Amino acid sequence: MILHADSIPDGEILQADVCIVGGGAVGLQMARRLIAAGMQVVIAESGEEEASQRAQDLNIGTQSGRNAGGLRDIRLRQLGGTMHLWGGNCRPLDPIDFQAREWVPNSGWPLSYADMAPYFEAAHGLLRLEEFAYRPEAPSLVTDPGPAQPFEETLFRLTRFVPGTRAPFLGEFAQYHAEELRNSDRLRVLVGANVSQIFLTEDRRSVRELYALTFQGRELHLRAKAYVFACGGIETARLLLASREDMPAGIGNHGDSLGRYFMEHPHGLAAFLIAEKSRVAALRPFSPGIRVGDAVIHRRIRLADHTQRGLGLLNMIFQLIAVNMKPHEENQYETHFRALEATVDDPAQWQRFYVVFLAEQFPSRDSRVTLGAETDFFGMPRADLNWQVGDLDFKTVSTALSLLGQHVFTAPDFRMKGHVASTTKDWIVGHGAHHLGTTRMSATPRDGVVDRDCRIHGLSNGFCAGSSVFPTAGMSNPMLTSLAIGLRLARHLEASLPFMPAPDPGLAPRRPREFEESAASPAMA
């Protein structure tokens, strides 16, 4: 059932087998799997069923590094989460992304691609992406694959419906599964429930309960056998950092890794391209793509594994976007296109394209989420995001662009002009609203926050799920991998929950220290 937290009596203790903080894609799909296995689940979602200004204002934060977009509106506090803003791009990570690469600092997962493969396929099925295939049967542009060819063609799959249509978007799980969420007697979805503190047991080895507030001032106490934090790459770190009552450095911050290793997917305009119209049919799988059933399939140009290894580069892709303009229409890049068209006899017989890059970035300890000086409506410190882009990130894109001109767009029916700065400092990059890595997965507490099963190091029953646990980013949009991680954790909880102790019903509920002190002060006076 879906309940507004303000409908729950003040001070209520709610118990379940599993408590999930975050009602986005990962939290909802985990809950569906767990209740299907017979478990009682509570989801605490800060937002409401519809978008609201007061919930969005909780996202406000500061930035002290590169611009990663406005923190208030780049994420959505609403049941269903940021999937309401999602563009629908899907692709699993590559096997190389899981490997420890000596040329990529801090790389390597404590999992392999083989460990994740069945969950990739399960997540793929949830998104109705047709056949699980991300490699084209035959290339249409990169036609000479081999050791001398630095690129290969790869596929991205897009969900058929997009946000804003009246039909339920296949990615908006809150709408698509609305009847199931409302009618299940094993599930309570609390909207408007703002978890602000994680309390631990006396021995600091388990989560004891969660403390939540509503906008009307009600206090709720959530207790479970297991707790899952699935709030995204910024908010999950923020909640763990702000929970300082029992661990002054934050929950799971044994190696000073909590909030660090923040990653995005740097992307932007790499080049201008014109192609003779006789080649446009071969480029159609790249732009606008081919519809197959419930999916739209796009081809993109990927930097091959052997090129990454040989040149010490990160994973990345180039995407082609056809520029379809009305007669006599101009755009801000008209000068660049006209310079290319001046090199051909009849520009009317050539099609314009943007060449866009989307790249992995290396996980840097200095790229991080910390707590700022300001607080939100509930007194919780706001996040400060310091997104850093490094020399390896820039080297990857600039080198790959040079190779693209040398190995792909070499025929006389192509003309390409690069559009990338000459130094890292001058490089202008966009963001993808992909927030990764701040509670990274690691083999030891020294190197991360959660283990290979997404369990917070040092805690028996606290887990993180979603994009925050990525040790490296790869170049694939993170939704499919985030869902796969959540499904794998759900399977782990199905197996382990019967052996976890139930919460002690005799324990008195805890409140944050400042609340207890303010309540006691009148009597003390």
Helix, strand, coil content of the chain in percent (nearest 5): 25, 25, 45
Please indicate, yes or no, if residue 60 is contained in any of the structural domains.
yes
Q: What is the pLDDT of residues 64-73, one digit of tens each?
A: 999 999 999 9
At which of 427, 446, 472 does a domain end? Answer: 427
- Report if residue 333 sits inside a domain: yes
Of the three residues 406, 427, 448, the one that is the final residue of a domain is 427
Do 147 and 169 fall into the same domain? no
Q: Which of 253, 254, 251, 269 is nearest to 197 (CA)?
A: 251
Taking only the tens place, the pLDDT of each residue in 326-380 is 666 677 889 999 999 999 999 999 999 999 999 999 999 999 999 999 999 999 9
With tokens 């295939």, the residue in question is 133
Higher pLDDT, 404 or 520: 404
Q: Give the CATH number, domain containing residue 25.
A: 3.50.50.60
Residues 348 and 395 in one domain: yes
Are residues 104 and 247 both part of a single domain? yes
* φ, ψ for residue 506, nearest 5 deg: -85, -10
Residues 476 and 493 in one domain: yes
Q: Which domain range does residue 242 map to? A: 1-129+165-264+365-371+433-499
Is 520 part of a structural domain of the chain? Answer: no
Q: Which amino acid is at 519?
A: A
Q: Same domain, yes or no, for 328 and 476?
A: no
151 plus 191 within the same structural domain: no
Look up residue 141 and give its DSSP letter. Answer: S
- Evaluate whether residue 513 is within a structural domain: no
Instruction: Give the pLDDT confidence score for residue 306 in this predicted structure.
Output: 96
How far from the centroid of its chain's Cα atoms is residue 238's Cα?
15
Pairing of strands 194-200, 207-213: antiparallel
Q: Are strands 316-322 and 295-303 parallel, antiparallel or unpaired?
A: antiparallel
Q: Which amino acid is at 181?
A: L
Residue 165 pLDDT > 50: no
Q: What is the pLDDT of residue 524?
A: 41
Asked whether residue 378 is assigned to any structural domain, the reply reads: no
Residues 229 and 280 in one domain: no
Q: Are 43 and 365 in contact (CB under 8 A)?
A: no
Tell me if 522 is assigned to some domain.
no
Residue 130 confidence (pLDDT): 87
pTM of the model: 0.94
* 505 falls within a domain: no
The total number of structural domains in the chain stands at 2
Integer-rounded Cα radius of gyration of the chain? 24
398 & 354 share domain: yes
CA-to-CA separations, 138 to 145, 154, 200, in angstroms, rounded: 10, 10, 55
CA atoms within 13 A on the CB side of 123: 28
Same domain, 6 and 86: yes
pLDDT at 144: 77
Residue 143 covered by a domain: yes
Residue type (1 letter), 137: E
pLDDT (tens digit per residue) in 80-98: 888 888 888 999 999 999 9
Based on the fold, state whether residues 343 and 409 are members of the same structural domain.
yes
Asked if 252 contacts 457 with a C-beta cutoff of 8 angstroms, the reply is: yes
Contact 381, 372 (CB under 8 A): yes
Q: Binning pLDDT at 50, 70 and 90, where does residue 169 land?
A: very low
Q: Label the pairing between strands 290-292 and 295-303.
A: antiparallel
Distance CA 39, CA 33 (A): 9
Q: Are residues 154 and 174 located together in one domain of the fold?
A: no
- Cross-strand partners of 4: 191
Q: Which amino acid is at 394?
A: F
The verdict on 5 and 79 lying in the same domain is yes
CB 124 within 8 A of CB 199: no
